[in-house]
Amino acid sequence: MSILPEGYTEYPKRREGYDHNLYEWSNLHARAPVRWPKGSVAVWLCVSLEWFPIMPGGPFKAPGHMVTPYPDYRHYTARDYGNRVGAWRMLEAFEKAGVKASFATNAAIAERYPELIEAVLAGGHEIIAHSTDMNGTIDASLGEEMERALVRDAMTRLEKACGARPKGWLSIAHQQSFHTLDILKDEGLAYCCDWVNDELPYRLSNGLVDLPLNHELSDRQIVTVQQKSADSWGESMRDAFDWLEREAKDKGCGRMLPIHLTPYIMGLPYRIHALEALLADLAARKEAWFARGEDIVSVWEQQQ
């Protein structure tokens, strides 16, 4: 005899996929094929430009945040190394390989490192909004009005510092509340990168596009969490590309490889060689199309 209350297994919002209406559920293999301008695998490089306030704050600590009691100078300066040194090495690597990238940028970075932003834009790269700073985190405890003010502040400051309003948004730690998607839409954004449940763009119910930036393919996850070497990271990216290339050929549909990069991790002098080698390898492959996030979204939208 069941001890569960009557109606326990009944749930009015139960549906295929997740139990919400944020997007229409669909399996990757069941969709109409996507074609890229070149090759079959869109390679999307996304670099995080992060400014970590030295004081604690925010609803929660994002991954990679300060980890020892305040003031945490060691980790603070290690992360600042990414903006002073590592990001410049990445820009040189991108130029050498002839590829373009997206830079997910805190508003504080755009204001405090104007030379870096000028170099990013001069290289033909894209700026994606990445909140105000690494204390600009979002969760349900923040409240809709405070979250709306946070997003508006980030967008306003980035537009002023960069000369154009970003089209894409990446939340700190990919974190959203139940209000985030509508707030992003109201602020004029075209796409976000927070939902990681796919390998191609897809349409959200409010009209935004999600461009999945899978955290499992990030240097933070592979190098710092899984403790793999830089060469092992590069091998993992090649394995992923090879699989996607074969799958694209078998299914007759384009695929996407997002590569999330962190300057203070992969920009170190004993790791940057792995990034340069990977870029040279993939850029020479006819099935690779290196593209900024906004370009991938634009090409995908034209085929919907």
The span from the CA of 213 to the CA of 223, in Å, is: 17
Structural domain includes residue 86: yes
User: What's the structural domain count of the chain?
Assistant: 1
Beta bridge partners of 210: 192, 202
For the stretch 65-106, pLDDT in tens is 777 777 888 888 999 999 999 999 999 999 999 999 999 999
Question: CA-based angle 132:263:300, to the nearest 5?
Answer: 70
Query: Is the residue at 24 inside a domain?
Result: no
How large a percentage of the chain has pLDDT more than 70?
98
1 within some domain: no
pLDDT at 201: 97
Read off the pLDDT of residues 103-136 as tens digits, 9 standing for 90 and up: 999 999 999 999 999 999 999 999 999 999 999 9
Residue 26 within a domain: no
Is 20 within a domain?
Answer: no
- On whether residue 25 sits in a domain, the answer given is no
User: Phi and psi for 276 in degrees, rounded to 5?
Assistant: -60, -40
User: How many other CB atoms are found less than 10 A from the CB of residue 241?
Assistant: 21
- What is the average pLDDT score of the chain? 93
131 in any annotated domain: yes
Tell me which residue range forms the domain holding 62: 35-302
Q: What is the CATH number of the domain that holds 183?
A: 3.20.20.370
In this structure, the dihedral spanned by the alpha carbons of residues 168, 174, 175 and 180, taken in order and rounded to 10 degrees, is: 20
Domain assignment present for residue 16? The answer is: no
Q: What is the pTM assigned to this prediction?
A: 0.93
